[in-house]
Structure 1
Amino acid sequence: MFPFYRKSANRAMIERLHGDIVAAARNPVLFTDYGIDDSLDGRFEAFTLLAALVLRRLNAIEAPGPDMAQDLADAVFRHFDAGLRESGVGDASVPKRMKTFTESFQGRAVAYDQALRSGHEALAVALTRNVLSNRPGGDRLARYAEAAAAALERAQIQAFTSGPVPFPDPAAF
């Protein structure tokens, strides 16, 4: 169905998709109005939430969605690795730090998927714990995450192959 989806042609598309997620996760409203810490940890949490929502949708969509999800996950971890190295983490420490990032990312992705399936309150609790470090604001962040998940659910494969990813404006919630 999508003959252009080849590994060689895929990298630019996956990098654009990754860039869309990064841009949405860096929306200043998430930090000023939602209470996400404007720190390395807070940015990781915002990115992880939105990336998990995109990966969830890609895994549920028709081909080449699941292949794109795998390539996007690989790109996410390549970027984490590169970020660690650029920040001065020594080569010997990178694997241990990457293991921590991987476990955190995957654990949160599973938690958010389960919470979305369980309802608003479960999602608010998961986001309060993970993204907001148990500070208030999980209810509003859950409304935004639910709206983002719904927008992604309505999106066809072309939104992911051609862009932009249809993230809602967090200021609207």
Structure 2
Amino acid sequence: MLARRASRQQGEEAGRLLYLQAVAAARKPHFYRAGGVPDTLDGRFDMICLMAALLVRRLRRTAPALAQSVFDAMFRDMDASLRELGVGDLGVPRRVGAMWQAFNGRCHAYEAALQVEDRQLLSDCLARNIWRGSPPDEATVGRLAREAIALDRALAQQSDAELIAGRVLLEAGPA
């Protein structure tokens, strides 16, 4: 019983570490400066959703419990962030629920595009979600779609052992 509990705690810690790395990747300045992603709460949330969706997609294949741990860490963080922003106790569950629905919808949309590496479909999803249907231009959206596909490929090459240990490299070569 103690071994199972220790294993669960290790999985939760690995999920938390992976999630924090996804957040760090989502906060990279190039997304907001050259990449045209709105530097707003919504823009940052959407980039975290994209990075977490890519990570969860990879983990679901070989480590579904770890994928769940990343998801759990994400929504614990969202809950804490809302509280830090001053959202009252009664409003937090409703807002977290809306965030969960948004994340879930984005995961399904990104999955459909990434499954077949359809850059145009992914571009359409990114334009709708990150720029609320009004992207700066097609080239900007296309660059982000190419980068997301490259990240997805890079994640596929990362070893299960590294991921299970809570280490991920959310970087890809030129897209």
TM-score (norm 2): 0.89
Q: Which residue of 1 aligns with 2:146?
A: 143
- What SS is found at the alignment partner of 1:95? helix
Q: Which residue of 1 aligns with 2:20?
A: 19
- What SS is found at the alignment partner of 2:167? coil
Q: Distance in 2 between matches of 1:157 and 1:75?
A: 19
Q: CA, structure 1 residues 5+159, in 2 after alignment: closer, same or farther (shift >3 Å)?
A: farther
The answer to whether the 8 A contact 1:132-1:138 is kept is no
Q: What is the root-mean-square deviation in Å for CA atoms of aligned residues?
A: 1.8
Q: Distance in 2 between matches of 1:54 and 1:159?
A: 13
Alignment size in residue pairs: 167
Residue type at the aligned position of 1:11: E
The answer to whether the 8 A contact 1:13-1:162 is kept is yes
TM-score (norm 1): 0.89
Q: Distance in 2 between matches of 1:167 and 1:5?
A: 27
Q: Distance in 1 between matches of 2:122 and 2:115?
A: 9
Q: Distance in 2 between matches of 1:5 and 1:138?
A: 43
1:105 to 91, 103, 106: 103
Q: Which residue of 2 aligns with 1:122?
A: 121
Structure 1 unmatched ranges of 5 or more: none
Q: Which residue of 1 aligns with 2:53?
A: 52
Residue type at the aligned position of 1:143: R
Q: In the alignment, does 2:44 pair up with 1:43? A: yes
CA distances 1:63-107 after superposition (whole Å, capped 9, x unpaired): xx1010111111111111111111100011111111110100000
Q: Which residue of 2 aligns with 1:29?
A: 30
Structure 2 unmatched ranges of 5 or more: none
Residue type at the aligned position of 1:18: Y
Q: Which residue of 2 aligns with 1:76?
A: 74
- What SS is found at the alignment partner of 2:110? helix
Q: Distance in 1 between matches of 2:6 and 2:149?
A: 29
Q: CA, structure 1 residues 73+163, in 2 after alignment: closer, same or farther (shift >3 Å)?
A: closer
Q: Distance in 1 between matches of 2:74 and 2:8?
A: 16
**Identical-residue share of aligned pairs (%):** 37
Q: Which residue of 2 aligns with 1:94?
A: 92
Q: Distance in 1 between matches of 2:129 and 2:6?
A: 35
Aligned-pair CA distance for 1:165: 1.2
Residue type at the aligned position of 2:129: N
Q: Distance in 2 between matches of 1:96 and 1:4?
A: 31
Aligned-pair CA distance for 1:132: 2.4
The answer to whether the 8 A contact 2:31-2:37 is kept is yes
The answer to whether the 8 A contact 2:58-2:155 is kept is yes
